[in-house]
């Protein structure tokens, strides 16, 4: 199938599992493709594997150059030789989520019928509704395929953190240590509201064409770009925006009331325009929905019930200026873990960088996560 | 007066923690409130094979403890104890923190709800130097132990050893053991008298349980 413009053609490493996956919505997708990357070496006992779960617009290119954008991996400051997630010691796996657009089964991939026969067109908006748990089930199939029965750790921030929680709740015996970072046990009404603005922007772009934009090779660039701009604001903090841009103008010294552009506008437009060259609009709709549906207590009765008797040890971290997944949400998670008698570590990292801080150089966060992983490795006899 | 046995304790913090550690048996489930960088916890995990958890209010200290691989949460005694289930721990430790919490009585109640035993240490406001400073100068005491001025001290609920014994009795807790430490860490004539301990003990250490 020809790639959708304007994505360049990239062959992603992936496994294709013929048995497919039955989703929470009842639909079975067959076959199931999981695109993934690994770093480091799996030891003989297969006991040093760490799974990293990516966020909404992340991908499996965790610690290497992203082939589509040419930019460094999104967590290359944290994952690598000698870094807190040390690839000299650990075998690190990262998979593109189900519903994503970097090679895993998703709206951009070829649609299949119930028998797994290709239909010669992308899924588009016919891609079934997926949940965070479906994403985790797909990752579990990959981990099984790699011959790993127990992960030393599952780590992730934002939507990646939601997957971490789902991993620990669904497969407690397969997760020795879990690090949900800058996340929550459910998506808040405010977060759903911001997502809906993004989706509305995509829906209102004439090029979206009811989701069938793939028919003529166009993409709803304007709508997807606006969605990204709105979302990007939620990833930053007011202090960070003031520090980076203040009220400075792009290419002018004083406001003239003639087509002036503030630097922050120009920055957001740039963010929006680069995003549409690497992300699929229907994937964005699918994944934001999955986040919105996420609610651990609804799935398990209560959050403590989700982790009752868990053998997993947890490291929770929040960032003080994160208003998308504020510390109060992480603290509620920590209290629920305490109520479930789970072994839990928690730090709130002081920073003015907002939600994005989990991707940036935050020495306290890196030090704490590194120590937590070393502790887990000690316990696993590594 | 509870039947206690006073031992002499050096002022050295490590000795103080070792005394607490001595009270805790092998393999116990322990919650250390105000665990700092986790030195007591690390000792308990290593030497006693304890299942130790900690709470620390200071972000840097909590991070240091987590970075050592300890299960420590950034939190505080006033707000986080209520979320642990009944009887979750064998021992709940609160060292040198009782005087700084907002609701000491409630914290004590929570400690003995979630733990079978509570171990507390606190600086004794009944110490003779404190009494003397207040009596002689008419100003808030300024000693080595109580070194911060009244308007910026975090120690909002200081108490004496007698005060603490009275609270334990009022709320129906059993004092299993108690010790006091004088300013030189020396064995003193107040060994068997809580009133003398209240005068010469600079710090107190109590082991309580529910009736």
Please tell me the distance from the alpha carbon of residue A343 to that of residue B103, in angstroms, as a whole number.
26
pLDDT of residue A252: 80
Residue closest to A182 by CA, chosen among A364, A359, A376, A361: A359
pLDDT 10s digits, A7-20? 777 899 999 999 99
Closest chain A residue by Cα to residue B73: A346
The β-bridge partners of B177 are: B207
pLDDT of residue B32: 97
Rounded mean pLDDT of A150-177?
98
Residue closest to A134 by CA, chosen among A294, A14, A305: A294
For the B13-124+158-210 domain, the top CATH level (class) is: alpha beta
- Cα-only R_g, chain A: 21
pLDDT of residue A220: 96
Residue closest to B201 by CA, chosen among B103, B139, B131, B100: B131
Rounded mean pLDDT of A304-318?
97
CB contacts < 8 A, A to B, total 70
CA angle A286, A290, A291 (to 5 degrees): 120
When CB atoms are compared, the residue of A344, A350, A364 closest to B71 is A344
Put simply, whether A376 touches B (Cβ < 8 Å) is yes
Q: How far is B85 from chain A (nearest CA, A)?
A: 5
Q: Which of A152, A347, A375 is the best substitution to test chain B (most B C-beta atoms within 10 A)?
A: A347
At residue A6 the predicted structure's pLDDT band, cuts being 50, 70 and 90, is low
Please tell me the distance from the alpha carbon of residue A231 to that of residue A274, in angstroms, as a whole number.
14
Q: Which of A305, A328, A363, A371 is the best substitution to test chain B (most B C-beta atoms within 10 A)?
A: A371
A283 is catalytic: no
A173 burial via Cβ count (<10 Å: 0-12, 13-18, 19+): exposed
A145 is catalytic: no
- Outline which parts of chain A fall under CATH 1.10.1740.110: 192-288
Sign (positive or negative) of CA dihedral B147, B149, B154, B158: positive
- Is B66–A368 a contact, with Cβ atoms under 8 angstroms apart? yes
Most confident of A160-164, A266-270, B45-49, B138-142: A160-164
At residue A253 the predicted structure's pLDDT band, cuts being 50, 70 and 90, is confident
pLDDT 10s digits, A44-79? 999 999 999 999 999 999 999 999 999 999 999 999
pLDDT 10s digits, A342-367? 999 999 999 999 999 999 999 999 99
When CB atoms are compared, the residue of A335, A344, A347 closest to B63 is A347
Please state which of the ranges A170-184, A190-204, B187-201 shows the lowest mean pLDDT. Answer: B187-201
Closest chain B residue by Cα to residue A314: B71
pLDDT in tens, chain B (211 residues): 443 333 333 334 456 677 899 899 999 999 999 999 999 999 999 999 999 999 999 999 999 999 999 999 999 999 999 999 999 999 999 998 999 999 999 999 999 999 999 999 999 999 999 999 999 999 999 887 788 899 999 999 999 999 999 999 999 999 999 988 776 655 455 667 899 999 988 889 999 999 8
Closest chain A residue by Cα to residue B67: A371
User: β-strand A175-181 against A151-157: which pairing, if any?
Assistant: parallel
pLDDT of residue B17: 77
How long a stretch of residues is chain A?
A: 382
Please tell me the distance from the alpha carbon of residue A345 to that of residue A343, in angstroms, as a whole number.
7
pLDDT of residue B10: 32
Set of chain B residues whose Cβ sits within 8 Å of the Cβ of A375: 68-70
- Domains of chain B, by residue range, sit at 13-124+158-210
Helices (H), chain A: 132-145, 159-170, 189-203, 221-235, 238-244, 263-275, 281-293, 296-300, 303-306, 327-339, 363-379
CB atoms inside a 10 Å sphere around CB B177: 17
Beta strands in B124-183 (DSSP E): 173-181
For the A192-288 domain, the top CATH level (class) is: mainly alpha
DSSP assignment letter at A284: H
C-alpha distances out from residue B4 to B15, B187, B197, Å: 20, 15, 11
Q: Give the CA-trace dihedral at B170, B172, B173, B176, to 10 degrees.
A: 100
If you average pLDDT over every residue of chain A, what do you get? 95
* ipTM computed for the complex: 0.88
For the A14-188+299-379 domain, the top CATH level (class) is: alpha beta
Residue A120 Ramachandran class (φ > 0 left, ψ -120 to 50 alpha, else beta): left
A36 burial via Cβ count (<10 Å: 0-12, 13-18, 19+): buried
Set of chain B residues whose Cβ sits within 8 Å of the Cβ of A343: 51, 53, 71
pLDDT 10s digits, A113-158? 999 999 999 999 999 999 999 999 999 999 999 999 999 999 999 9
């Amino acid at each position: 199938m020809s790639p959708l413009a304007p994505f360049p053609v990239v062959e992603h490493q992936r496994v294709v599992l013929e048995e497919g996956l039955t989703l929470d919505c009842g639909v079975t997708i067959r076959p199931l493709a999981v695109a993934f990357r690994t770093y480091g070496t799996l030891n003989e006992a297969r006991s040093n594997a760490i799974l990293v779960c990516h966020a909404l617009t992340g991908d499996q290119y965790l610690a290497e150059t992203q082939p589509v954008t040419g930019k460094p991996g999104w967590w290359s400051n944290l994952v690598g030789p000698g870094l807190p997630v040390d690839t000299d010691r650990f075998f690190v796996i990262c998979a593109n989520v189900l519903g994503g657009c970097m090679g895993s089964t998703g709206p951009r991939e070829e649609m299949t019928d119930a028998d797994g026969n290709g239909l010669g067109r992308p899924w588009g908006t016919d891609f079934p509704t997926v949940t965070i748990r479906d994403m985790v089930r797909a990752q579990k199939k990959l981990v099984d395929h790699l011959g790993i029965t127990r992960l030393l750790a599952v780590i992730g921030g934002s939507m990646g953190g939601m997957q971490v929680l789902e991993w620990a709740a669904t497969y407690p015996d397969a997760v020795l240590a879990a690090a949900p970072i800058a996340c929550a046990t459910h998506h808040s009404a405010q977060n759903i509201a911001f997502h809906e603005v993004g989706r509305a922007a995509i829906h209102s772009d004439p090029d979206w064409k009811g989701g069938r934009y793939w028919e003529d090779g166009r993409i709803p660039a304007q709508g997807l770009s606006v969605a990204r701009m709105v979302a990007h604001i939620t990833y930053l903090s007011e202090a960070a925006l003031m520090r980076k841009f203040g009220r400075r103008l792009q290419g002018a010294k004083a406001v003239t009331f003639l087509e002036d552009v503030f630097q922050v506008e120009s920055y957001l437009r740039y963010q929006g325009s680069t995003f549409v060259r690497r992300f699929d609009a229907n994937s964005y709709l699918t994944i934001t929905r999955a986040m919105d549906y996420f609610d651990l207590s609804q799935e398990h009765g209560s959050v403590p019930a989700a982790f009752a008797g868990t053998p997993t040890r947890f490291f929770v971290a929040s960032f003080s200026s994160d208003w998308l997944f504020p510390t109060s949400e992480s603290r509620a998670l920590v209290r629920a873990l305490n109520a479930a008698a789970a072994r839990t570590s928690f730090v709130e990292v002081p920073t003015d960088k907002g939600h994005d801080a989990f991707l940036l150089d935050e020495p306290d966060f890196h030090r704490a996560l590194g120590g937590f992983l070393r502790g887990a490795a000690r316990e696993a006899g590594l | 007066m509870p039947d206690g046995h006073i031992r002499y304790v050096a002022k050295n913090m490590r000795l103080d923690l070792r005394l607490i550690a001595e009270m805790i048996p092998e393999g116990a489930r322990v919650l250390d409130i105000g665990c700092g960088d986790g030195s007591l916890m690390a000792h308990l995990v290593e030497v006693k094979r304890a299942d130790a958890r900690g709470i620390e209010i200071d972000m840097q200290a909590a991070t240091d403890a987590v970075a050592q691989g300890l299960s420590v949460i950034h939190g505080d005694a006033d707000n986080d104890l209520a979320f642990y289930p009944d009887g979750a721990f064998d021992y709940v430790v609160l060292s040198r923190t009782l005087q700084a919490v907002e609701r000491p009585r409630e914290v004590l109640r929570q400690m003995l709800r979630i733990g079978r035993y509570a171990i507390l240490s606190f600086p004794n406001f009944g110490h003779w130097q404190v009494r003397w400073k207040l009596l002689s100068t008419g100003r808030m005491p300024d000693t080595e132990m109580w070194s911060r001025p009244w308007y910026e001290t975090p120690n909002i609920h200081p108490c004496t050893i007698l005060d603490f014994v009275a609270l334990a009795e009022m709320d129906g807790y059993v004092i299993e053991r108690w010790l006091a430490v004088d300013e030189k860490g020396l064995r003193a004539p107040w060994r068997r008298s809580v009133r003398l301990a209240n005068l010469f003990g600079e710090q107190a250490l109590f082991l309580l349980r529910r009736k």
